Amino acid sequence: MSSNQLHVTFWGTRGSLPTPGRMTEKYGGNTPCVSIEHQDSLVIIDAGTGIRLLGIELAKAVNAGKHLKKIHLFLSHTHWDHIQGLPFFEPAFIPGVQMHIYGSPAREKVLENILEGQMDTHYFPIDMSMFNATLEIHEINAKAIEIGDLRLDWQEQIFHPGGCARYRIRLGDRTMVYASDIELDQMTDPPENFQADPQWGHLDLEERARLLAEFKDFIRGADLLIGDGQYSETEYTNRRGWGHSSIPTVAEIAIESEVKQLAVFHHEPRTSDSQIDDYGRTYGRRFRTKETSFNLFWAREGMTIAV
Amino acid sequence: MYETAFLEVRGVGAIQGIELGSEEITIGRSPEATIQLPLKNISRIHARVYRMDEEYLVEDLDSTNGTYLNNVRIVRSVLRDNDQIEIGEARLLFLEKKLRDMPTVNVPPKATDS
Ligand SMILES: [Zn+2]
Ligand SMILES: [Zn+2]
């Protein structure tokens, strides 16, 4: 492994709900989980059902006598599709494993309660005290955190019901950003589309422009952006206010911010593999231009890329 | 499970089809590679295609110029029907034939069924 590269693996790419079956086996049916590895450092973002597969890999390594790296799990938010894999994460049951879970302090003091809550006996047969690993839950107070040679910083995103954090990881001059679960169209659409919105209608144009500028600064020049692109533009018109972006909007913002590569992420549960292949062709033609070296692709479960 | 899977190699002479089994296949400039590609921008042993459980995967073997899958530089990835692996100037198409892709055949009823 080259020492100046991040290895980014998609374990779950589907939004909202797991979608097993043959219609979705190419891009995957597990809900969000991404791992970022560099030498001995392992960062995981989100604990959707995809984290189960990562857990199996890690447990295999432990059984083969390998020393398990300290696990740093960052949660973007606590919607079900981003935490529901945690009770199935094998390393959590291995004594001696050290697991740190981080989340935004915007969900003040409740992060631990929420994670314990989903393992309440009404929802799950065993409770969190059955985890044999050492577990530490942190609400991130610092602006930036260092994990080995990785430097991670984050920002809160407003345009998702309940809020959601985005994360940026840097290694030397390499940068990757995870910004899922955000309705970017709220910052680019004309005002008449959002004035009546009960959640965010009060935010004026100026505030939306400021938030967009903040988003662009955060992703600027990234080698990889894992971005919310749940809907086609047609689907989006029926999903305003649901907290997810349309593909052209995330692609345009990425290009304007000189992002080199966009992994479209959080696939809509109803979207089949062949539909995503179609998106790949149509949006690929539209956004992969000769003038820029910009590339976009649809994140696929089971794929590791070098950043 | 795959009924059969193939790699179709383009870029060196005639298109070559290789049926995949449980044996690992290496791709590179070296004569020791299963698929030898004497082209520029290809490392000695550049990448491998192998089976793990019920999946075929492609993995870059620390090559100088990288292994691309459908335009994306990868370290490793599961393979799906019609995936294009790009190594230097060469293109390798992964094709799988599953039960559901098989042409349907009408089975004539047995005459002597009692
Ligand atoms: Zn989600
Ligand atoms: Zn959400």
Query: How many angstroms does the Cα of residue A128 sit away from the middle of ligand 2?
Result: 23
Select from B57, B71, B77 the Cβ nearest to the Cβ of A300. Answer: B77
Tell me the per-residue pLDDT of A209-218, one tens digit each, with 9 for 90 and over.
999 999 999 9
Alpha-carbon dihedral A50, A262, A180, A160, rounded to 10 degrees: -150
By percentage, how much of chain A surpasses pLDDT 70?
98
Q: What is the pLDDT of residue A229?
A: 98
| Cβ proximity of A176 and A36 under 8 Å | yes
pLDDT at A154 over 70: yes
Best probe of the B interface among A60, A305, A307, by most B CBs < 10 A, is: A305
Contact call for A301 and B76, based on CB within 8 A = no
Using CB atoms and an 8 Å cut-off, which of residues 4-33 of chain A contact chain B? 7, 22, 25-26
Q: Which residue of A has its CA nearest to B98?
A: A22
Q: What is the pLDDT of residue A284?
A: 94
Q: What is the pLDDT of residue B114?
A: 46
pLDDT classification of A8: cutoffs 50, 70, 90: very high
Structure tokens at A247: 């593909």
d(CA A47, CA A77): 10
Select from A25, A297, A302 the Cβ nearest to the Cβ of B72. Answer: A297
**H or E element in which residue A274 lies:** helix A273-287
Q: What is the pLDDT of residue B2?
A: 47
Contact call for A303 and B76, based on CB within 8 A = yes
Give the class (CATH, top level) of A7-306. alpha beta
Q: What is the DSSP string of A197-265?
A: -TTTTTS-HHHHHHHHHHHHHHHTT-SEEEEE--B-HHHHTT-TTSS--BHHHHHHHHHHTT-SEEEEE
pLDDT classification of A69: cutoffs 50, 70, 90: confident
A75 touching chain B per CB within 8 A:
no
pTM of the model: 0.93
> How far is the alpha carbon of A153 from chain B, nearest alpha carbon, in Å?
25
Q: What is the pLDDT of residue B108?
A: 57
Q: What is the pLDDT of residue B67?
A: 97
d(CA A94, CA A254): 40
d(CA A256, CA A34): 25
| Cβ proximity of B24 and B4 under 8 Å | no
Using CB atoms and an 8 Å cut-off, which of residues 205-264 of chain A contact chain B? 261
Structure tokens at A246: 């349309």
pLDDT classification of A1: cutoffs 50, 70, 90: very low
Residue range A152-180: average pLDDT? 97
B97 touching chain A per CB within 8 A:
no
Select from B55, B71, B75 the Cβ nearest to the Cβ of A7. Answer: B75
Contact call for A303 and B77, based on CB within 8 A = yes
Q: What is the pLDDT of residue A125?
A: 92
Mean pLDDT of chain A: 94
d(CA A58, CA A68): 7
| Cβ proximity of A307 and A35 under 8 Å | no
| A34-47 burial code (b ≥16 CB/10 A, e <16) | bbbbbeebbbbbbb
Range with the poorest average pLDDT among A52-61, A84-93, A136-145, A261-270: A136-145
Tell me the per-residue pLDDT of A43-57, one tens digit each, with 9 for 90 and over.
999 999 999 999 999
Q: What is the pLDDT of residue B110?
A: 59
Contact call for B71 and A22, based on CB within 8 A = no
User: Comparing C-alpha atoms, which of A165, A169, A194 is closest to residue A181?
Assistant: A165
d(CA A146, CA A143): 10
A73 touching chain B per CB within 8 A:
no
pLDDT at A93 over 80: yes
Q: Which residue of A has its CA nearest to B80?
A: A26
Tell me the per-residue pLDDT of B82-107, one tens digit each, with 9 for 90 and over.
999 999 999 999 998 754 455 555 56
Query: How many angstroms does the Cα of residue A218 sit away from the middle of ligand 2?
Result: 20
| Cβ proximity of B38 and B29 under 8 Å | yes
ipTM reported for the complex, 2 dp: 0.91
pLDDT at A147 over 90: yes
d(CA B97, CA B89): 26
Q: What is the pLDDT of residue B104?
A: 52
d(CA A6, CA A307): 5
pLDDT at A107 over 80: no
Long-range contacts of B101-110 (CB under 8 A, 24+ apart): B102/B3
CB atoms under 10 Å from CB of B2, counted, come to 16
| A8-21 burial code (b ≥16 CB/10 A, e <16) | bbbbbbbbbebbee
Of the bound ligands, which one is closest to the alpha carbon of residue A15? 1
For chain A, which residues make up each domain, given as ranges?
7-306
Query: Which residues, 6 or more positions from B101, have their beta carbon under 8 angstroms from its beta carbon?
Result: none
Best probe of the A interface among B54, B55, B77, B82, by most A CBs < 10 A, is: B77
Residues lower than pLDDT 70 in chain B: 1-3, 98-114
Residue range A225-246: average pLDDT? 96
